[in-house]
Chain A
Amino acid sequence: MSHDNPYEALGGDGDARWAFGTGFTDPLAGVDTTAPAGVDGGDLAAYCLMLGDDALVMSHRLQEWCTRAPELEEEVALANIALDLLGQARLLLARAGQADGGGRSEDDLAFLRDAPDFRNVRLVEAANGDFARSMARLLVFAVWRLALLDRLAGSRDPVLAAVAAKGVKEVAYHRDYAAGWVVRLGDGTAYSRERMKEGLAAVWPLVAELFVPHEVELRLARAGVAVDPSQLRAEFDAVLDQVLDAARLTRPDAARPGEADAAQEGPADAAPAGAGGRDGRHGTELDEVLSVMQGVARALPGATW
């Protein structure tokens, strides 16, 4: 039903009028969400939470650039990327809620869990820092997630395969965007280059965790459902080097001792292998994200808007 006057459209005819999203509670409506034969529902839910929380928290950090971006075009771009990731998160959290049999909705999972119940990698919760650091983080995230989703599109689970196949098209655009900025700043002025180097160094301690498989990932990878993240490192390195070469930058861990001092400005408590975000170990930065993201839902339980 179309309306000539937007104010008319707000009145009268049913829900979903006051805001996009209201009244649309199930992004998987009508999708067959039966777990594939031989796959544990608890494992499947845990895996969907991992990938869903990565997208949700990364989306939130990108949304923080709204009204703060250096140019309007960048603000629009970052909001678009955040929206794509929020859509991926909605599908994955809805899937998680159905797979574990607990009946929690995507909103329950997004707004009513505490930090130790979040399963995102720590890369996504880190504070934005300046624009260069945000672009370094987005590049690392998008290169990694694209490699992951591209493989996940072949999953034996039809819902994960479909979410991934769509996500590949979206994250390919995100990766090109972040790569473009890393090259522009890295191969720009002496000052922009310095800031880009610092941004990359600040993010670098959080990279190793991306490739450490959790036991759930390994079990589901053996069942043909998930991707073992340790298999992604070669592609990640190849793509990242392609960008860094164009930006005339090197990886922080290839730098001379002392040159990566800026890393100290990054999260000082980077997770050791095997005890990271996938196990619910997070920094205080995730608490900051959740206090903002969950504030309204927690203050007004059950409210709709």
Chain B
Amino acid sequence: MVTRHEAGRAVAREAGRAVAREVAERVTDPELPLLTLADLGILRAVDTDGDGRVVVTVTPTYSGCPAMAAIRADLTASLRAAGFADVEVRTRLSPPWTTDWITEAGRRKLADAGIAPPGPAPARAAGPVPLTLDPPRRRVRCPRCGSAETEELSRFGATACKALWRCRACAEPFEHVKEI
């Protein structure tokens, strides 16, 4: 039998969870501040117990992502400011993050900021990981002029998640969130 007290707690917990989720989702990535953690797709769970305690579970983008420390600190600070006294940020490693988890809204924001969003992450066939010796055949559209006449300059860029590309039509360099 559910007592009135227990029912009240359940309602408070549900309401608290919704608020906590909203606060956590709005926290931005320190390296790509145009994206929220929701856009980036790294928030795995937000749980509350109804007594002001929140547990946020995140999946790192890359093993060495240096933004993780700032993301944890920002999550804690934002949730405390929203009235949650006790905040714990947990890591979930599996399944690993993939750029497929970046939301449609996130992809639009990237493109608007001049960063070419990722295409679908490569599907992995059975057997050894194939070696890629040739430049990628994929067409990444220039986020400035829209041309498909682009080329990869380097698969590594200013942050772990980005590659450097160049547009042959408008001659501008641009960044591309590489598929992983």
Contact = CB atoms under 8 A, between A and B. Distances in A.
Interface in B142-172: 153-158, 160, 164
A108 B58 CA distance: 26
A281 B121 CA distance: 41
B128 A183 contact: no
Which of B66, B164, B178 has most chain A Cβ within 10 Å?
A: B66
A102 interface: no
Interface in A236-281: 238-239, 242-243, 246
Interface string A75-92: 011011101111110110
Contact of A31 (B27, B91, B131): B91
Contacts of A159: 93
A180 B133 contact: yes
Interface in A152-200: 158-159, 161-163, 165-170, 172-173, 175-177, 179-180, 183
Contacts, number: 141
A302 interface: no
Given A21-B66, A29-B89, A165 B156 contact: no
Interface extent on B, as a size class?
A: 35 or more
A57 interface: no
B154 A77 contact: yes
Contact of B90 (A29, A84, A243): A29
A15 B73 contact: yes
Given A31-B90, A90-B64, A150-B129, A169 B69 contact: no
Interface string B62-94: 111111111011101110010000001111111
A240 B47 CA distance: 48
Contact of A87 (B28, B65, B73, B156): B65
Contact of B93 (A80, A163, A180): A163
B132 interface: yes
A170 B76 CA distance: 29
A23 interface: yes
A81 B66 CA distance: 13
B180 to A, nearest CB: 5
Interface in B1-16: none
Pairs A-B, 4 closest by C-beta atoms: A30-B90, A87-B64, A87-B63, A24-B69
5 contacts: A1-B78, A22-B69, A30-B88, A239-B131, A242-B131
Interface of A: 1-2, 13-17, 20-24, 27-31, 73-74, 76-77, 79-81, 83-88, 90-91, 146-147, 150, 158-159, 161-163, 165-170, 172-173, 175-177, 179-180, 183, 235, 238-239, 242-243, 246
Given A21-B66, A23-B73, 4 more contacts: A24-B69, A30-B91, A162-B96, A168-B129
Interface of B: 27-28, 33, 55, 57, 60, 62-70, 72-74, 76-78, 81, 88-97, 128-129, 131-133, 153-158, 160, 164, 178, 180
